[in-house]
Each structure stands twice: as structure tokens, then as C-alpha cells.
């Protein structure tokens, strides 16, 4: 089939071009929205800026094809061969790429949010600056893939192969770089400066963020359980509903932070500055708050059962409705406490 025949048939209402041989075809900027190109041969084709939204390209051969800036949102590319293809800036939002071969492909700055890449071969692919937010990457092969600057917020990475040496990332400078490095297996982000970053719902379980600059960072509903945040700077940080169970926050600066309904059981806040922090309805069972500064903190409704508050400064703190059964208050300053 020639390009002219294809476009003429499409213009006349035809949509079924399954199995067509269009290798090295020049389809720059063409409109093939919703076309059926299942199993088509498009190796080396020029599909730059082509509109293939919602098209069926399942099991098609698109190896070495130029798909830069193409529109492929919600297209079916399951089982397709996209090895060494060019997809720079391509729109793949919501696309089905389950089991597709994207080895060595260039997806720099591509929009791949909410796409399905389960079981896909992404080895050696370039995802630098790509948006993979909420993408399904379960059981995908990401060995030697470049994820620098990629947005992996809430991406599904269960069972994904992420064996590249994470040390190549160095100290992340953005939330996206941090999440990409974490996805690669990096855990040491000590001293990283990400103040005012957006890390809502991020999974950073067990990460080392000691002495990190996280002032005014939004970490609400994030998973930071068993993380090391000792001496971290979290002034006015948003930690509402965040899971910090068994985390180390000793000596952390949390003045004015928002910890409402946070899970803080077993966490170490010894010597931390929590002055004027909002800790309402937080779960602090068996937490270590020894010698912590809680002056002016709002702890209304907080669960402090068996917590260690020895030597803590609770002056002018709000403790209305707080549960303190079994708590250790030896040597605590309770001047002006409001119950």
C-alpha cells in the first residue's frame, strides 16, 4: 500500500489498514486518528507530528520509526516493536504499551502519564524529562534506562527491573530526580535540598534524608516509614496524613510543620524542634519525644499512649483530648499547658 492510497482511503472513511506494509513511509503530520494498523509494518517510517490518537498499532513494527511529537494518546501499542524508535516529546498519555519492545527508544520529554507499560522491554530507553506519573510499569525491564529528570510520581513499579547503578544520579535537585533515583534503588539522599518541593503521596520508605533541606515541602500522605530524617529541615513542611512510623527524626527542625493525622508511632523525635507544629489527631503511640521542643504545639486529640516525653518542653502546648495513658512526662515542662 502506498502512502497516497492509505490517505485516500482514510479520507473516504476507511479505517482498517491492518497488516499494511508502510516501511519507511513518509506520513509526516498525517491524520490517522483511530486507524486500525494492527500488525502493520512501519519500520523506519516518518510519523513525526502524526495524529494517531486512539489508533490500534498492536503488534506493529515501528522499529527505528520517527514518532517525535506525534499524538498517540490512548493508542493501543501492546506487543508493538518500538525498538530504537524516536518518541521525543510524543504524547502517550493513557496509551497501552503492555508487552511492547521499547529497548533503546528515545522518549525524552514524552508524556506517558497513566500509560500501561506492564511487562514492557524498556532496557536502555531514554526517559529523561519524561512524565511517567501514575504509569503502570509493573514487571517492566528498565535495566540501563535513563530516568534522569523523569516524573515517576505514583508510578507502579512493583517487580520492575531497576538494576542500573543508582550512584550515577548524584544528589537529586528536583522531586522528579529524587523519585527516579529512589525507583532505581538509591536510598541515600543525605543533605539533599528540596525545599518547597511537591512530594505528595511519594513512596520514600527507608530513605536516608538526614540533614535534608525540606522546608515547606509538601509530603502529605507520603510513605516515609523507617526513613532517616535526623537533623532534617522541615520548617512548615506539610506532613498531613504522612506515614512516619518508626522513622528517625531526632534533632529535626519541624517548627510550624503540619503533622495532622500523621502516623508517627515508634518514631524518634528526641531533641526535635516541634514548636508551634500542628499535630492534631496524630498517632504517636510509643514515640520518643524526649527533650523535644513542643512549646505552643497543637496536640489536640493526639494519641500519645506510652510515648516518651521526658524532659520535653510542653509549655503553652494544646493537649485537649490527647491520650497520655502510660506516657513518660518526667521532667517535662508543662507550664501553661492548655488541656
155 and 301, same domain (yes or no): no
* Those residues with Cβ within 8 angstroms of residue 298's Cβ, 6 or more apart along the chain or in another chain: 276, 277, 278, 279, 280, 317, 318
Q: Is 182 among the domain residues?
A: no
How many domains does the chain contain in total?
Answer: 2
Residues 38 and 106 in one domain: yes
152 and 198 together in one domain:
no
Task: List, for residues 123-168, the tens digit of each pLDDT value.
Answer: 999 998 899 988 999 889 998 888 877 888 778 887 777 654 333 3
In this prediction, residue 298 carries a pLDDT of 98
Same domain? 56 vs 119: yes
One domain, residues 37 and 132:
yes
- Rounded CA gap, 132 and 115, in Å? 8
Give residues with Cβ within 8 angstroms of 78, minimum separation 6.
58, 59, 96, 97, 98, 99, 100, 116
pLDDT at 161: 75
What confidence score (pLDDT) does residue 165 get?
39
Lowest average pLDDT, out of 148-157, 191-200, 260-269, 319-328, goes to 148-157
Q: What is the pLDDT of residue 172?
A: 82
Residue with grid cell 511529537, as numbered in its chain: 69
For residues 324 and 155, the model is more confident at 324
Q: How far is CA 89 from the centre of its chain?
A: 20
- 150 and 291 together in one domain: no
Where in the sequence is the domain holding 262, given as residue range(s)?
187-339
Q: Are 236 and 214 in contact (CB under 8 A)?
A: no
pTM of the model as a whole: 0.58
Residue 165 has a CB neighbour count (10 Å cut-off) of 10
Q: Do 166 and 45 reside in the same domain of the chain?
A: yes
Q: What is the mean pLDDT of residues 50-77?
A: 97
Alpha carbon distance 8, 88 (integer Å): 28
For residue 267, pLDDT over 90 is answered with yes
Residue 157: CATH number of its domain: 2.160.20.80
Q: Which helix (H) or strand (E) holds 4?
A: helix 3-11
Q: Are 124 and 237 in the same domain?
A: no
Write the DSSP assignment of 258-306 as a string of letters: B-TT-B-TT-B-TT-B-TT-B-TT-B-TT-B-TT-B-TT-B-TT-B-TT
* pLDDT at site 169: 45
The dihedral through the CA atoms of 200, 202, 207, 213 has a sign that is: negative
Residues 246 and 339 in one domain: yes
pLDDT at 168: 39
Distance linking the first and last C-alpha atoms of the chain: 81
Q: Is residue 261 part of a domain?
A: yes
At residue 180, the pLDDT reads: 84
Measured CA distances, 116 to 29, 140, 193 (Å): 25, 10, 32
Amino acid at each position: 500500500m502506498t502512502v497516497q492510497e492509505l490517505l485516500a482511503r482514510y479520507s473516504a472513511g476507511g479505517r482498517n489498514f491492518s497488516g499494511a506494509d508502510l516501511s519507511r513511509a513518509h506520513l509526516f503530520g498525517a491524520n490517522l486518528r483511530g486507524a486500525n494498523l494492527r500488525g502493520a509494518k512501519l519500520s523506519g517510517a516518518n510519523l513525526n507530528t502524526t495524529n494517531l490518537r486512539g489508533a490500534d498499532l498492536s503488534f506493529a513494527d515501528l522499529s527505528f520509526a520517527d514518532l517525535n511529537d506525534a499524538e498517540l494518546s490512548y493508542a493501543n501499542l501492546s506487543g508493538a516493536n518500538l525498538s530504537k524508535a524516536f518518541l521525543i516529546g510524543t504524547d502517550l498519555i493513557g496509551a497501552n504499551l503492555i508487552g511492547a519492545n521499547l529497548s533503546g527508544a528515545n522518549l525524552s520529554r514524552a508524556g506517558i502519564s497513566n500509560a500501561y507499560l506492564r511487562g514492557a522491554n524498556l532496557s536502555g530507553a531514554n526517559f529523561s524529562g519524561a512524565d511517567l506519573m501514575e504509569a503502570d510499569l509493573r514487571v517492566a525491564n528498565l535495566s540501563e534506562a535513563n530516568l534522569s529528570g523523569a516524573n515517576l510520581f505514583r508510578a507502579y513499579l512493583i517487580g520492575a527491573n531497576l538494576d542500573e547503578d543508582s550512584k550515577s544520579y548524584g544528589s537529586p535537585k528536583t522531586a522528579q530526580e529524587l523519585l527516579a533515583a529512589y525507583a532505581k534503588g538509591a536510598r541515600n539522599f543525605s543533605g539533599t535540598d528540596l525545599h518547597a518541593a511537591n512530594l505528595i503521596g511519594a513512596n520514600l520508605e527507608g530513605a536516608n534524608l538526614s540533614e535534608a533541606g525540606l522546608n515547606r515541602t509538601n509530603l502529605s500522605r507520603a510513605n516515609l516509614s523507617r526513613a532517616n530524617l535526623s537533623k532534617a529541615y522541615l520548617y512548615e513542611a506539610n506532613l498531613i496524613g504522612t506515614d512516619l512510623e518508626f522513622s528517625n527524626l531526632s534533632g529535626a527542625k519541624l517548627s510550624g510543620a503540619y503533622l495532622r493525622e500523621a502516623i508517627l508511632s515508634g518514631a524518634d523525635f528526641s531533641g526535635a524542634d516541634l514548636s508551634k507544629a500542628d499535630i492534631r489527631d496524630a498517632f504517636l503511640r510509643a514515640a520518643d519525644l524526649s527533650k523535644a521542643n513542643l512549646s505552643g504545639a497543637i496536640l489536640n486529640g493526639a494519641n500519645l499512649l506510652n510515648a516518651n516525653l521526658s524532659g520535653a518542653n510542653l509549655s503553652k502546648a494544646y493537649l485537649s483530648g490527647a491520650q497520655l495513658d502510660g506516657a513518660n512526662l518526667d521532667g517535662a515542662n508543662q507550664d501553661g499547658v492548655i488541656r
